């Protein structure tokens, strides 16, 4: 074993003339919760599909749980749990029927017990005989997660599992993810939510099918070298467009009564603020947040990358 | 919001036109299907079929017999082939090789000359009353004057004395009831609609609903998906034909002359043909709507070229060739043959083998077109 649950290099994938994944190398340490981030169309979904054998890469090689992704797709299917972005269980089957179907396909030996555990964990007990279509978004996602872990996979791939789910349900869903991780499961989870990214041991940021940065949230923020200045006290709505026109200002964003200005060079940013000639503001430098870093990356894609459509 | 707004109407019109332009299936269906219909109805379908294969059983080859055969051929309704024995001709009638048997008794010429007024037996395949209707009328119209030119100038042959008689017998359906032709065939038609469509939808539905992605990532083999999806519909298909058969027998008085288990077995193969074809459609079509549209292109020739509504023998050779490829053509023959003619295995075997070949070929295509990845 490599000590890596995922270890791939040089992955490429095109759809027609559109390059979605380009020379992607990726390593995920066994047992960690790894956040998978990137803009829409950055290749997150495609990467997950390549990892679990749903797509065949045009080039590249590597292993998932030590199994070759090119030749071991069947074995990978047995050991990986994959939760699709779009709900992909049967809306016209009940919670219990869906889980039984998946468990039987996996040939789970102690089916009753495995289903019971998954239902218990996901808190689905009260919904056992409810049709999946009648569940709300949050409960559908819990059902999908329960189905994805029924066969006790060693690696869990979750594709935007909390999109469109309310804050409380999202938090509970993440508690569940950490429970699974505590049991030794490796989790690769894609998300657009920064609070979720911060709950990951490590984040991987993808842009234009390339891996741009990886590390813990703190490391990513530290490596980005961006400067953030916050201002309060003035007319923020009017000030923002003026600041955006200044050289050295990358973004100027209104957050309620505060104005958040970012750039890569502290001196240039100060100069730009002075040049904008704004009055009545109180300025102070604040530590960058993860979303500042990602917006910076989206605005400044590394050389040679281009943004495709879709996931 | 009150009143009819031309602006809103144009907005709706423009949106609809754009969507329609992108919906190639519907455009193809509305343009291509009528063309196919035009050509099929215009060239292939013929409710007054001529040149029907006819078996002639004749012991001697006298001048009078030649006269009668020539007169029959001149009606253009009959293409006459000579069969050595009644038994061979009978077999040909059951196998759909011929539609008429003309049996001229031995010593025909002598009996005519003796004034014994011998009888020519004409056996018609009554299982398709439409096909034989005009031809039987033509036989009756021949009358006695066929021989008048060659008959000796003997006062005995003046009217009302008749030189010979024609006894016409519509076999398998003596009263020529159309229902006896249509109702057995419905077994095959009903099954085409139900089983083809349900399988065509089966995989397409998974894809459209997004459940395919989950199914693909689960450890399941194509053959398992295929069989698992198909078998419930086989059961449903059998339930369906049991119902159709029961009503056919009880309400419409359709006879069950042959073996029911044999019929049900052969129908199983026909169901397999439809399911395989439906599976190919469902692998190619991206949406359920497209699958329905593709199925239309199977239904049309199935209805028109199979011999269901229009006489198979009335169609030109090319149309019969297309019809022969369709499994429904053979299923129809089997259903009509077993129920009406009492056909057994030897008679239905050729149709069964053709269907088996179809099921196998399309089944292979079905497995090959099933994709285990999303590529």
User: Strands A251-255 and A258-263: what pairing?
Assistant: antiparallel
In the three-class reduction of DSSP (H, G, I as helix; E, B as strand; rest coil), residue A172 is classed as helix
Residues of B with Cβ-Cβ distance to A52 under 8 angstroms = 217
Q: Where are the domains of chain B?
A: 52-171, 178-369
For residue B235, what are the contacts with CB-CB under 8 A and spacing of at least 6? none
Residue A311, pLDDT above cutoff 90: no
Q: Tell me the per-residue pLDDT of A36-47, one tens digit each, with 9 for 90 and over.
A: 998 888 889 999
Identify the bridge partners of residue A11 per DSSP, sorted by sequence position.
Answer: A24
Cβ A102–B218 below 8 Å, yes or no?
yes
Q: How far is residue A41 from each of residues A19, A26, A220, A311, B239, measured CA to CA in Å?
A: 11, 18, 21, 4, 49
Q: Do B210 and A84 touch (CB under 8 A)?
A: yes
Contact between B12 and B18 (Cβ < 8 Å): no
Chain A residues in contact with B213 by the CB 8 A cut-off are 54, 84, 86, 88
Average pLDDT over every residue of A232-242: 87
Q: Reply yes or no: is the peptide bond before residue A283 cis, omega within 30 of 0.
A: no
What does pTM read for this prediction?
Answer: 0.77
Is the Cβ–Cβ distance between B279 and B195 less than 8 Å?
no
Which parts of B164-218 are beta strand (E)?
165-171
Q: Which residues in chain B have their CB less than 8 angstroms from residue A91's CB?
A: 209
Return the pLDDT at B160: 45
- Cβ contact, residue pair A105, B214, below 8 Å: no
pLDDT digits (tens, 9 = 90+) for A4-27: 999 999 999 998 888 889 889 988
> Where is B252: in which H helix or E strand?
none
Closest chain B residue to A144, measured at CA:
B214
Whether residue A105 and residue B220 make contact (CB cut-off 8 A), yes or no, is yes
- pLDDT tens digits, A179-224: 888 888 999 999 988 889 889 999 998 888 888 888 888 888 888 8
The rounded average pLDDT for each run of 10 residues, N- to C-terminus, in chain B (375 residues) is: 83 89 82 87 84 87 84 88 90 90 87 83 87 84 69 57 79 84 89 86 84 84 81 89 91 89 93 89 84 87 87 86 91 92 90 93 85 67
The two tokens of residue A62 are: 């590597």
Predicted local confidence at residue B227, as pLDDT: 81
Cβ pair B195, B272 in contact under 8 A: no
Nearest by Cα to A183 from A160, A209, A155: A155
Q: Give the gap in angstroms from C-alpha B237 to the nearest C-alpha of chain A.
A: 22
Res B195: pLDDT? 87
Distance CA B291, CA B25 (A): 10
Chain B residues with at least one Cβ partner in A under 8 Å: 209-220, 372-375
Count of other CB atoms within 10 angstroms of residue A44 = 25
pLDDT at site B312: 86
- What is residue B331's predicted lDDT score, i.e. its pLDDT? 93
For residue B109, what are the CA distances in angstroms to B84, B85, B131, B163, B166? 19, 19, 31, 10, 15
Put simply, whether A210 touches B (Cβ < 8 Å) is no
Cβ distance of A88 and B213 shorter than 8 Å = yes
Sheet of A186-190: strands edge to edge?
Answer: A80-83, A155-158, A186-190, A33-38, A202-207, A210-215
| pLDDT for position B204 | 86
Query: pLDDT at residue A302 above 90?
Result: no
Q: Flag if A91 and B374 touch (Cβ within 8 Å).
A: no
Q: How far apart are CA B297 and CA A200, in angstroms?
A: 54
- The span from the CA of B275 to the CA of B359, in Å, is 9
Q: For residue B221, what is the nearest residue in chain A, using CA coordinates?
A: A74
pLDDT at A1 over 60: no
CB count within 10 Å of CB A153 equals 23
CATH, domain range A227-287: 3.30.70.100
Please tell me the distance from the alpha carbon of residue A99 to that of residue A146, in angstroms, as a whole number.
8
CATH number (1.10.569.10, 3.40.50.300, 3.10.20.30, 1.50.10.20) of A4-221 reads 3.40.50.300
- In sequence order, which residues have a C-beta less than 8 Å from that of residue A299 and are 6 or more positions away? A250, A251
Long-range contacts, stretch B230-237, CB < 8 angstroms, 24+ apart: B230/B199, B230/B202, B230/B275, B230/B279, B233/B194, B233/B195, B233/B198, B233/B199, B233/B202, B233/B271, B233/B275, B234/B195, B234/B268, B234/B271, B234/B272, B234/B275, B236/B194, B236/B195, B236/B198, B237/B191, B237/B194, B237/B195, B237/B271
Query: Per-residue pLDDT for A307 more than 50?
Result: no
Q: Name the CATH code of domain B52-171 (choices 3.90.1150.10, 3.90.550.10, 3.40.1710.10, 3.30.465.10).
A: 3.40.1710.10
The pLDDT of residue B156 is 57
Domain boundaries, chain A: 4-221, 227-287
């Amino acid at each position: 074993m490599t000590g890596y649950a995922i270890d791939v290099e040089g992955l490429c994938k095109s759809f027609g003339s559109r390059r979605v994944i380009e020379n992607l190398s990726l390593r995920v340490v066994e047992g960690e919760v790894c956040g998978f981030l990137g803009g829409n169309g950055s290749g997150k979904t495609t990467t997950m599909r390549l990892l679990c054998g749903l797509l065949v890469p045009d080039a590249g090689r590597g292993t998932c749980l030590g199994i070759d992704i090119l030749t071991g797709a069947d074995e990978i299917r047995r050991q990986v749990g994959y939760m699709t972005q779009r709900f992909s269980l049967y809306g016209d089957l009940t919670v219990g029927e869906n889980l039984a179907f998946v468990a039987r396909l996996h040939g789970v030996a102690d089916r009753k017990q495995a289903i019971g555990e998954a239902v218990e964990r996901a808190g689905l007990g009260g919904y056992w005989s409810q049709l999946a279509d009648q569940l709300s978004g949050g409960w559908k996602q819990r059902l999908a997660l329960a189905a994805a872990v029924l066969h006790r996979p060693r690696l869990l791939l979750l594709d935007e599992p909390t999109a469109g789910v309310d804050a409380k349900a999202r938090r509970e869903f993440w508690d569940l993810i950490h429970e699974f991780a505590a049991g030794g499961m490796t989790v690769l989870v894609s998300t657009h939510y920064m609070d979720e990214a911060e709950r990951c041991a490590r984040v991987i940021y993808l842009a234009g099918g390339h891996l741009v940065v990886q590390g813990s949230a703190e490391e990513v923020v530290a490596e980005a070298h961006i400067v953030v200045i916050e201002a309060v006290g003035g007319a923020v709505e009017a000030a923002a467009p003026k600041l955006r026109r200044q050289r050295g200002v990358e973004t100027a964003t209104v957050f309620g009564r505060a104005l958040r200005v970012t750039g890569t060079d502290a001196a240039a940013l100060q100069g730009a603020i002075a040049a904008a000639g704004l009055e009545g503001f109180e300025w102070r430098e604040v530590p960058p947040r993860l979303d500042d870093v990602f917006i910076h990356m989206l605005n400044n894609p590394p050389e040679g990358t281009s943004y495709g459509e879709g996931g | 919001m009150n009143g009819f707004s031309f602006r809103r109407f144009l907005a709706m019109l423009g949106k609809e036109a754009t969507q329609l332009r992108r919906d190639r299936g519907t455009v193809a269906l509305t343009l291509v299907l009528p063309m196919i219909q035009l050509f099929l109805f215009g060239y292939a379908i013929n409710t007054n079929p001529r040149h029907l294969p006819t078996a002639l059983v004749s012991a001697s080859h006298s001048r009078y017999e030649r006269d009668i055969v020539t007169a029959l051929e001149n009606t253009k309704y009959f293409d006459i082939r000579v069969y050595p024995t009644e038994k061979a001709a009978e077999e040909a009638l059951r196998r759909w090789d011929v539609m008429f048997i003309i049996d001229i008794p031995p010593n025909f010429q002598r009996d005519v000359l003796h004034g014994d007024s011998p009888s020519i037996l004409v056996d018609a395949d009554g299982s398709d009353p439409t096909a034989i209707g005009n031809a039987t009328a033509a036989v009756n119209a021949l009358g006695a004057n066929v021989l008048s030119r060659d008959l000796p100038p003997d006062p005995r042959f003046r009217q009302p004395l008749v030189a010979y008689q024609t006894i016409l017998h519509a076999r398998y359906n003596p009263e020529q009831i159309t229902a006896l032709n249509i109702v057995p065939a419905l077994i095959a038609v009903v099954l085409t609609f139900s089983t083809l469509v349900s399988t065509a939808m089966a995989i397409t539905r998974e894809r459209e609903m997004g459940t395919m992605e989950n199914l693909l990532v689960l450890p399941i083999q194509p053959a398992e998906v295929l069989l698992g999806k198909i078998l419930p519909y086989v059961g449903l298909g059998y339930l369906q034909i049991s119902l159709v058969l029961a009503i056919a027998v009880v309400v419409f008085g359709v006879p069950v002359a042959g073996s029911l288990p044999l019929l049900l077995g052969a129908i199983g193969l026909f169901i397999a043909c439809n399911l395989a074809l439906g599976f190919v459609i469902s692998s190619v079509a991206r949406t359920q709507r497209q699958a329905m549209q593709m199925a239309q292109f199977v239904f049309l020739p199935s209805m028109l070229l199979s011999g269901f509504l229009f006489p198979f023998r009335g169609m030109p050779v090319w149309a019969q060739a297309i019809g022969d490829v369709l499994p429904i053509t053979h299923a129809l023959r089997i259903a009509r043959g077993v129920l009406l003619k009492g056909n057994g295995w030897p008679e239905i075997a050729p149709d069964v083998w053709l269907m088996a070949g179809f099921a196998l070929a399309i089944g292979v295509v079905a497995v090959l077109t099933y994709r285990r990845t999303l590529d």
